[in-house]
Amino acid sequence: MALIRTHDRYPYKPITERPLYDWPGGARLAVYIGVNLEWFSFGEGLGASLVTAHEGSPDVANYSWRDYGNRVGVFRMAELFEELNMPVSVLANASMYEHAPQAVSCFKHREVVGHGRTNSERQGDLPEHRERALIEETTETIAKHEGKRPLGWLGPWISQSDKTPDLLQEAGYTYLLDWCHDDQPVWMKTRNGRILSVPYPQEINDIPQIVARKREGDEFGRMIIDAFDVMHGECELRPLVMGIALHPYLVGWPHRFLHLARAINHIVENADDKVWLTTAGAIAEYAASLPDGTVP
């Protein structure tokens, strides 16, 4: 049989064969919202596209479409979450604090997660010393503005090198969100210890659905409701994590926001004692406090 490469970060362990545990207060379904706040370089670098860019001239259409999220859409979303008393994990590019600081501070009940410098670059493309510098720069910027350093990380464009979990753990991060491989937290091995992988969605995520698969707000909102309903029933059997990944330049537009608001209201209205409305950081902290062997 041919040798198949593996990452060696965690072993295979079916969810049906793991120890059972509860979230705080006896809950079984932890639900968190990850709001991606991203800054893009004008006329260069990476960025999601609404239309085909014309070569040889600044990409005004796509840049300004994304900029709407930081200027308008994010405040519409923050007002909804404030009204519902919903905590939020803000996944922030460090550049946001220079160019659009109010877009970060408008979330009153926020945990800030490191999300690189800008989403115009991928950290996985960098050599180790430059990736380490990117992590350090992001950490220092967030700590300066928030008064405390971030403990969680999501790479721009879910980009990792072979060394990313090692570099994050060595930089003092306790959890990462880049892997969408599970419905429970999982410990990942690093060269000097371990780091917790907290589930982050690539299905209940507006970029893959709306940008890549061309689904619209009504269908995406229905997906959020359906995922919650299935996991709400299934959590009787085992503890689960449901993440919802959002970008203001997508679901902050009025025609999509209507469906997002309907979906989030459905979750809040059905959040009984089995449901813990929380942040990714609180999930990581609680999971790390459980006895060794509880979290695979």
More confident residue, 217 or 49: 217
- Identify the bridge partners of residue 131 per DSSP, sorted by sequence position: none
Average pLDDT, whole number, for the chain? Answer: 94
pLDDT of residue 77: 98
What's the pLDDT score for residue 61? 82
Cα 191 to Cα 170: distance, rounded to the nearest angstrom = 9
Q: Does 56 score more than 60 pLDDT?
A: no
User: CA angle 30-34-39, nearest 5°?
Assistant: 170
Give the separation between CA 38 and CA 41, rounded to whole angstroms.
10
Tell me the HSE value of 26 on the side-chain side, using a 13 A CA sphere.
Answer: 2
The DSSP code sequence of 137-198 is HHHHHHHHHHSS---EE--GGG---TTHHHHHHHTT--EE----S-SS-EEEEETTEEEEE-
State percent of the chain over pLDDT 90.
88
pLDDT of residue 49 exceeding 70, the answer is no
21-37+58-289: CATH class:
alpha beta
pLDDT at 48 over 80: no
DSSP annotation of 92: E
For residue 30, give the 3-state DSSP assignment.
Answer: strand
**3-class DSSP assignment, residue 243:** strand
Q: Is the Cα torsion angle 228, 232, 234, 239 positive or negative in sign?
A: positive
Chain segment 244-285, per-residue pLDDT in tens: 999 999 999 999 999 999 999 999 999 999 999 999 999 999
